[in-house]
Amino acid sequence: MKQQGDFNMEYNQLIKELTAFRDSRGWNQYHTLPALARAVGIESGELNELFLWDMENDNKFSEKQKHDMELELADILTYCYYMCDKLGVQPNDIVQEKLDINKKRHWKFDE
């Protein structure tokens, strides 16, 4: 199992590569927080589109379908990572914070 420190080192290397890729193309000027949030939504829609009208599949997916899902998730995560970079936060830190909040919450169906 990977330690948190391992993830941070991997994340730091990945965000360095992502921002170098972005900057080499001059895209940073377009990567505002609102634009990145819209991009996350658009990519999420593309992930959802993979399931459109497929009522018979019921969690039985081909390797190609799974790979297509992975690539769409990668697009979503890429934009999320760009947002984390702009906000100066680590993704695992904010996910852990939200998980800690959710552990204390109760929903109607929990009662």
Domain containing residue 27: CATH number: 1.10.287.1080
Q: Which residues of the chain have pLDDT under 70?
A: 1-9, 55, 57-58, 110-111
Q: Has residue 63 been placed in a domain?
A: yes
pLDDT at position 1 is 45
Domain count, the chain: 1
What was the pLDDT predicted at 92?
Answer: 93
Q: Which two tokens stand for residue 100?
A: 């800690």
Query: What's the rounded Cα separation, in Å, for the pair 18 and 107?
Result: 38
- The predicted structure's pLDDT at residue 14: 94
Is 111 contained in some domain? no
Q: What is the pLDDT of residue 106?
A: 86
Q: Considering the domain boundaries, does residue 82 fall inside one?
A: yes
Q: What is the pLDDT of residue 52?
A: 86
- DSSP per-residue codes, 34-89: HHHHHHHHHHHHHHHHTTTT--S-TT---HHHHHHHHHHHHHHHHHHHHHHHHHT-
Which pTM does this prediction carry?
0.84
